[in-house]
Amino acid sequence: MSSPFRAHQQRVLAAISGSGPAVAVGCAAPMPESGPVATEYQLLLASLGIDLNALRNIQSTERKIEAKRTMIEKYRPWVESAAKAAAGAQDEIVSNMMIWAIDIQDWSLALNLAEYVLLAGIELPQRYNRTPATLVAEEVAEAGIKEPGSVPFEVLGAVADLVSDADIFDQVRAKLEKALGLTFKARADAFDPNAESAVAGGKPALLAAAISHLDRAIALHEGCGAKKIKQAYEAELKKLSSSNDTPA
């Protein structure tokens, strides 16, 4: 972890790195090649190379994620400050930490960096054969599909908004819609009518929203694996509606 002075130095230099004008709208400027910003960036890049090599030697995905939770702290001052800049420089530290933040489910940092990367036009490292918008949408969606409810609804909604105008594959957007559907179902299962935050319409409304997102997922990609799930939700909603219609 960086010392307080080192962290402050990173914040200042990262802010400077993004203070120059972009080459074009949505196109990040080159990172400076000389001066204190370049020196700090190269030091961090070298450190990242060491950490990436260490991660390659870890076979367990769970252990890799735990390692990233520790490793990311040395880069946090740099990336958090960079994301506040008026314009963006092509920055592999930022793009890698965006991915790590998704991996460790640090959603606040992940969304902050994703918005910055997409708006500034920062490209991903060459080893990723996806656009930033595609990667963000797909990785967050897959996390939400793997464990429904683990990705907050607000995060999925924010990602959907971020990539709404992006040119991404329909299959990827379908995953995002499926994740939203599963998340609404998780909210329906946990619905407490006595809670202060209880949504209007209650559990039926949440189920209906889940079905709507699954409908959209199927429309985008029939093979997304949502058809049987949707049928089960529809059957549950029908049963719930019948139960509510039964006189007490």
Last residue of a domain, one of 66, 92, 126: 126
DSSP string for residues in 102-125 = HHTT-HHHHHHHHHHHHHHTPPPP
Q: pLDDT digits over 92-127, tens only? A: 999 999 999 999 999 999 999 999 999 889 999 888
Last residue of a domain, one of 126, 146, 171: 126
Looking at the fold, whether 59 and 159 belong to one and the same domain comes out as: no
Residue 231 to residue 204: CA distance in whole angstroms: 15
Looking at the fold, whether 41 and 115 belong to one and the same domain comes out as: yes
Count up the domains in the chain and report the number. 2
pLDDT at 10: 56
Residue 150 to residue 113: CA distance in whole angstroms: 20
Looking at the fold, whether 17 and 98 belong to one and the same domain comes out as: yes
Looking at the fold, whether 82 and 184 belong to one and the same domain comes out as: no
Last residue of a domain, one of 126, 145, 161: 126
Residue 93 to residue 208: CA distance in whole angstroms: 41
Looking at the fold, whether 182 and 226 belong to one and the same domain comes out as: yes
Residue ranges making up the domain that contains 26? 1-126
Q: pLDDT digits over 166-191, tens only? A: 999 999 999 999 999 999 999 999 88
Looking at the fold, whether 199 and 183 belong to one and the same domain comes out as: yes
Looking at the fold, whether 6 and 104 belong to one and the same domain comes out as: yes
% of the chain exceeding 70 in pLDDT: 84
Looking at the fold, whether 42 and 144 belong to one and the same domain comes out as: no
